[in-house]
Structure 1
Amino acid sequence: MTIPYKYQLLPIEKVFRDPVHNYIHVQHQVILDLINSKEVQRLRRIKQLGTTSYTFHGAEHSRFSHSLGVYEISRRICDIFQRNFSREKIGAGGWDDQERLVTLCAALLHDVGHGAFSHTFEHIFQTNHEAITVEIITSPQTEVYQILNRVEEGFPEKVASVITKTYPNPQVVQMISSQIDADRMDYLLRDAYYTGTEYGTFDLTRILRVIRPYEGGIAFSMNGMHAVEDYIVSRYQMYVQVYFHAVSRSMEVLLEHLLNRAHELFQETPEIFEHHSQLMLPFLKQQFTLEDYLKLDDGVLTTYFIQWSEESDVVLSDLAKRWLNRKPLKSASFTGENQLPLIEKLRDLVERVGFNPKYYTAINSSYDLPYDFYRPELGKHRTQIELQQKDGSLLELSKVSQLVSALAGQEQIDQRFYFPKEMVDPSTQDNYDLFSDTYREFASHIHNGALVESTF
């Protein structure tokens, strides 16, 4: 008798050696087939942390390894739920193991739509990695769809609905996307490992020991509160110390300006790009297909940047060289709109010495909530973290944790003004003698406390 595809297990489980989880265990044929699909293999060519490797040089890991990690954590949670909290054991709020395959597929595929230097590229060319993830999963032209569709009719749409958070089982959705989910748990541990920092480390073993399903989603036992607190603080520290690092954001600004300049230049002289940047043309024309999107990765764009560095357009060439050779813009932090007139004056000074402020200055703001709680006045809010007491009742985390209460709802914002390093470092500026008064005036505004200079 032929075993249906959805029930096919590997004769011997496949394992992937992983520096974070030791082994990643694959037992289902469908999961192995998805891993080997061209859309998932493409994630090997996309860095997980984008420009962060320009600050933390070890951060060269890919979205492929992260996707495997999210799958592995989800697999472990499914095992725990089935072993300890199945519907057969605890009733209606328990885990139905028939949800395992859709959960594991969604975990593996949750980032499959990320593009080259994804967030910066998205902003310039109006792409959306979540929408493209859904398109990859549900488009008959992809290998991912063809594999999923062999499970059962409508299965690709089921997996996609987990990504869009419309899947009817909240346990499945929250395992993949919530304030403490398999995605966040993997990227904190993985990013901490590869950046060489300790900020993102937390006790994953304890978290998995105290996680449990209930009818409305996923909760954590009350005696595991301190492990959850540790996770929240680790996440906060990673955002402040790593994800929002001023130099990484400076490189993002350079990348954004470089892509913007290419986009603008294409409107005037498209022939510049037609002879060596063919895979970028659909995006410069803003007429791209899914097939066009899947051809791009970090390496393709970097190759184009090398070619752009030799073009006759001074701005395009210079920005490409700054990006390729890690010449970040300098930055100064500021607070409040009352400093915006000063920033405009600084932009004028930058322009006076020959830099186009459109491409050599920027205001960049980082923003995150370390932890959010239910606020019904907002149309969109994050799923709050629930602690389960012995009697089965639930308490929201910040109601019982003084530590999390202090962080809850607190916006973490860092506003910075970016400008050429030459403006405060005469040794890098050939025309210092000609514009010495301008440089001194600029530096005096930066150093007198009106803006606070960042060093790197």
Structure 2
Amino acid sequence: MWNSAERLEVEPWASVDAFRSGTSHAFDDPLVAALMSLAPLKRLKGIGFLGAIDYLRHGSGRAGHRRRHNRLEHSLGVAHLANVYAREVGLPDNRRRLLLAASLLHDVGHGPLSHTLEPVFSDAFGIDHHSVTRDLITGDRRAGLGIAEVLAAEQVDIEEVLALIDGEHDGDVGFLFSNQINLDTLEGIMRCRAFIAPRPAYRGAERIALLWARGDHTAEGAFDEFWRLKHDIYTLFIGGPAGAALDTLAQTYMREHLSQFSPDDFLISETMLLRRHSELHGYLKVAARSQEKLREVVPKGWLRAPVERRRREFFIEKDTRLVNNAAINFRYRQTKTRSATTLADLLD
């Protein structure tokens, strides 16, 4: 297995309330405070983590399974895992802070309803969160004003941040963002698990990050368990009938009302978008109560129109041992398929 690292003291897991409120008190680093003070980061509090699927929850309650989550919480969660890993391994401060910056900024370009509406924005306007994230960080979009300046003031290399986010960093910490299992997907899948059922899931990601950092021989079992969880989350929840139906509903609405959208809408909050499109908001609220009722209220043509359904499945190559970080991409694999369906079929 991996070489063991010296055991270092790590920060305790920040409370869920800290992540909900978008505060940065869990991090003793001026870089985090400076980035969190910027409007592009604050906007993420108004961008749902799961897109249309978030509306399966009414948004009330404090527990993870009783409320919607947002992209700011997720970004803080990834930063926390980066901090835990870096301190456990004993990375120099400049490498740890690079990870913090990439973690906080990796989703800064997400649009309202997140991945749900992005395919339509991409088809209609050539916009996706990858290109917008890069433009915001470099300052090529005015909405990102301040990010490049903070990175420069805190002596964090902007090109390294971008390379990490793009999964193209070839240095000592690149694998933490580019591997099949990485800090982003660790946090995201565990957050999905917390959203689905009343079982604490946040600490599971921290445990894996610590085992990973220590090169512990039990990390393989923890990674296997995580990869099976990711398979279940995608096949039964995100890509399951309910998730696919809500994504299809919102995408169909946008395509049918495309003249009422503009490229600038990609950088507004979800609240503002749904205020402008009260009909879509109404459909999402109906879906949260009853998908059978949704069938009754949407236009009949939407129910019969063919749509593409994308599925992902995850499997483990058990003959490949987890002897180093490079082996992660050979042991943990996935397949992607596409098929034709209709909204009516998804609502059955």
Aligned to 1:18: 16
In the other structure, the counterpart of 2:49 is 48
| Aligned: 1:356 with 2:301 | yes
> Is the 8 Å Cα contact of residues 98 and 160 (structure 2) preserved in structure 1?
yes
Residue of structure 2 equivalent to 1:160:
162
After superposition, give the CA deviation of every residue in 1:21-56 in whole Å (9 maximum; x if it has no partner).
999721111111101211001000011011223335
Offset of residue 233 of structure 1: 1.1
Q: Which amino acid aligns with 1:232?
A: W
How do 1:30-429 residues align onto structure 2 when only pairs under 5 Å count?
A: 30-57=31-58, 58-82=66-90, 95-126=91-122, 127-139=127-139, 141=142, 142-152=145-155, 155-169=157-171, 171-196=172-197, 203-204=204-205, 206-212=207-213, 220-263=215-258, 266=259, 273=260, 280=261, 282-283=262-263, 288=264, 293-294=266-267, 296-306=268-278, 309=279, 321-326=282-287, 328=291, 355-356=300-301, 360-371=304-315, 387-388=322-323, 396=327, 409=333, 411=335, 413=337, 415=339, 417-420=341-344
Query: What CA deviation, in whole Å up to 9, does each residue of 1:416-438 have, x standing for no partner?
Result: 62245xxxxxxxxxxxxxxxxxx
1:361/1:156 Cα in 2 relative to 1: closer, same or farther (>3 Å)?
same
Q: CA offsets, 1:194-217, max 9 Å, x none?
A: 22266978844542343249xxxx
CA-to-aligned-CA distance 1:338-364 (integer Å, 9 cap, x gap) = xxxxxxxxxxxxxxxx9436x752333
CA distance in 1, matches of 2:100, 2:283: 41
Contact 2:49–2:71 (8 Å) recurs in 1: yes
Aligned twin of 1:312: none
Q: Is the 8 A contact 2:81 2:206 kept in 1?
A: no
Q: What code does the residue aligned with 1:396 have?
A: A
Q: Residue deviations 1:286-340, cap 9 Å, x none? A: xx5xxx643x12111111121xx4xxxxxxxxx6753453265899xxxxxxxxx
Aligned-partner residue type, residue 223 of structure 2: V
Say if 1:71 and 1:34 are closer, same or farther in 2 by CA, change over 3 A.
Answer: same
C-alpha contact (below 8 Å) 2:235/2:313 kept by paired residues: no
Distance 1:197 1:131, change over 3 A: farther
Inter-partner Cα distance in structure 2 for 1:397 and 1:164? 18
Q: Which letter maps to 1:297?
A: S
- SS at the partner of 2:314? coil
Q: TM-score, normalised by structure 1?
A: 0.59
Tell me the amino acid that sits aligned with residue 151 of structure 2: L
Cα contact 2:274–2:281 (8 A) shared by 1: no
Corresponding letter in the other structure for 2:166: T
Quote the sequence identity (%): 19
CA distance in 1, matches of 2:160, 2:329: 33
Please say if residues 305 and 320 of structure 1, whose CA atoms lie closer than 8 Å, have aligned partners that are also in contact: yes
Q: Distance in 1 between matches of 2:321 and 2:92?
A: 20
Shift of 1:258: 0.9
Contact 1:250 1:330 in 2 (8 A): no
CA shift digits 1:57-93 (9 cap, x unpaired) = 53511111111000000000000110xxxxxxxxxxx
> Separation in 1 of the partners of 2:25 and 2:314?
29
TM-score of the pair, normalised by structure 2: 0.76
**Cα distance between partner residues in 1 of 2:154 and 2:301:** 55
Structure with more helix by fraction? 2
Query: Structure with the greater relative contact order (CA < 8 A, sep ≥ 6): 1 or 2?
Result: 2
Distance 1:328 1:413, change over 3 A: farther
Q: How big is the shift at 1:147?
A: 1.1
Relative to structure 1, the CA distance from residue 222 to residue 99 in structure 2 (aligned partners, 3 Å threshold; closer, same or farther) is same
Q: Aligned Cα RMSD in Å?
A: 3.7
- The amino acid of 2:41's aligned partner reads V
**Contact 1:47–1:63 (Cα < 8 Å) also in 2:** yes
8 Å Cα contact 2:137-2:148 kept in structure 1: yes
Q: How many residues are aligned here? A: 313
Q: Distance in 1 between matches of 2:17 and 2:188?
A: 13
Closer/same/farther in 2, CA of residues 398 and 16 from structure 1, 3 Å limit: closer
Give the Cα–Cα distance (whole angstroms) in 2 for the partners of residues 410 and 156 of structure 1.
31
- The one-letter code matched in structure 2 to 1:256 is Q
Give, in whole Å, the separation in 2 of the partners of 1:232 and 1:21. Answer: 24
Higher Rg = 1
